[in-house]
Amino acid sequence: MATPRPRGSMLRWLALPIVLVPLGWLLFTGLGGDPRNLPSPLVGKPIPVFAGTTLEGDHFSSADLAGKPAVLNFWASYCIPSCVDEHPVLLDLAARHGDEVQVVGVLVSDTPDAARGFLDRYGQVSWPNLLNPDGSISIDYGVTGPPETFFVNADGVVVSRHIGPLTRELVDEGLAALGIAP
């Protein structure tokens, strides 16, 4: 080209690294994420306190957990098939580790009659199930929908959360995170 280039014309090439380097960093660090992995903001934090009446009419609160690891399971009788699928897994968990962890059920917008009907049909349980008619516990824990489960250590700190039905493997993983050998 015959015409002289304007001064500083080479500077415009700086635009290239300015755009590409951050973009490249962004694209490659974002890789490898699991889209279904939605960690709860509660993980690593003390559990929100709760209190309520159980299906049996007893009082139960987070204070009753003191010093013992716990598995908080949010469920409902209408949650079919997920809650039905995980019910034997929970029964198995209580049978194997009932003396090491306290299982607590919390009903998610369900009625006592419906919940009792569910347990009559799929198996009675030994652990307390909180009624929570106003859904306040679900809200405090940021539950997206039943079933959802929180693993809580002896200090009352949430160690992990699982959305969706539990399986034996998931339970063993959760227990291992609590320091309990499966």
Partner 1 sequence: MIPTLGHLAVLIGLASTLYAAGAFVIGGRSGDTAVLASARRAMYAAFAMVTIASLAMVASLLAHDFSVLYVARNNATTTPPFYSVISLWAALEGSILFWTLLATGWASLVLHRYRARLPALMPWVGATLALGAAFFFAVMAWPSDPFVRVTPIGLEGNGPNALLQNHPFMGLHPPLLYLGYTGMAVPFAFGMAALITRRTDEEWLAVVRRWTLVPWIFLTAGIVAGAWWSYAVLGWGGYWAWDPVENAALLPWLTATAFIHSSMVAERRGTLRIWTHALVIATFTLTLVGTFLTRSGVVNSVHAFTTSGIGAWFAWAILLTLGVALGLLIWRLPDLGDRRPPGAVVSRESAFLFNNVLFLAITFAILFGTLYPVVVEAATGARASVGAPWFNRVNAPIFVALLFLTGVGPALPWGGASWTTVRERFAIPILAGVGVVVAAWALGVRDAAPLGIFGLATFVLVVMGDEVVRGARSRARTRGEPAPVALLRLTTRNRRRYGGYLAHVGICVMSVAIAVSATLGSDQTATLRPGEAMSLGAYAITYHELVTEPLASDPRVIETRAELTLAGPQSGRIATALRDYPNSATAIATPVVRTALGEDLYVTLLSYNPATETATLRVFINPLVMWIWAGGAIVALGALFAIWPDRRRTAVEAALAGA
- Does 139 participate in binding partner 1 (rule CB under 8 A)? no
The answer to whether 118 touches 105, Cβ cutoff 8 Å, is: no
Piece of 47-55, 73-81, 96-104, 173-181 that binds partner 1 (CB under 8 A): 73-81
- Does 66 participate in binding partner 1 (rule CB under 8 A)? no
Q: Kindly tell me which of 85 and 100 has the beta carbon lying closer to partner 1.
A: 85
Q: How much is the CA Rg of the chain, to the nearest whole Å?
A: 25
88 Cβ contact list (under 8 Å, min separation 6): 123
Binding residues for partner 1, rule CB under 8 A, total 45
User: Which of 2, 7, 8, 13 is close enough to bind partner 1 by CB under 8 A?
Assistant: 13
Q: Kindly tell me which of 69 and 165 has the beta carbon lying closer to partner 1.
A: 165
- Does 99 participate in binding partner 1 (rule CB under 8 A)? no
CB of 155 to partner 1, least distance (A): 22
User: Which of 2, 7, 8, 9 is close enough to bind partner 1 by CB under 8 A?
Assistant: 9
- Does 2 participate in binding partner 1 (rule CB under 8 A)? no
User: Which of 1, 2, 95, 181 is close enough to bind partner 1 by CB under 8 A?
Assistant: 1
- Does 165 participate in binding partner 1 (rule CB under 8 A)? yes
- Does 31 participate in binding partner 1 (rule CB under 8 A)? yes
- Does 12 participate in binding partner 1 (rule CB under 8 A)? yes
Token pair for 117: 């009907």
